[in-house]
Amino acid sequence: MRLKVIFAFALAFCVLFPATGSFGAQDKTLQLPSAFFPEAQYAFAPVLEGTEIMHDFILQNKGTAPLEIKKVRTG
């Protein structure tokens, strides 16, 4: 009878407090880049045809890893 009580207690403990493997382990957060555009769109004012217009878009990396820009295209 006592063995059943010990077994039930051990089983309940394992179910309620599962081992996470974090005892003494370092914090292993996933490091990812995160692109952020404070201004995602810009509406140009009307101009004459053939006029060159420019606008700089700011891109910020709010992640923890380097951000690689592999391709840029207009929308």
Local confidence band at 59 (pLDDT 50, 70, 90 cut-offs): very high
User: Residue 66 and residue 33: Cα distance in Å, rounded?
Assistant: 6
pTM across the whole model: 0.49
**Token digits of residue 39:** 């201004």
- Residue 25 domain-assigned? no
The predicted pLDDT at position 67 comes to: 94
**Token digits of residue 49:** 């045809």
- Residue 6 domain-assigned? no
Which residues, in sequence order, are bridge partners of residue 61?
35
**Token digits of residue 67:** 């951000």
60 lies in which domain range?
32-65
- Residue 38 domain-assigned? yes
User: Using one digit for the tens of pLDDT, what is the confidence trace for 28-43?
Assistant: 678 999 999 999 888 9
- Residue 46 domain-assigned? yes
The predicted pLDDT at position 75 comes to: 67
Count of the separate structural domains present in the chain? 1
User: Taking Cα atoms as reference points, which of 58, 60, 61 lies closest to residue 33?
Assistant: 61
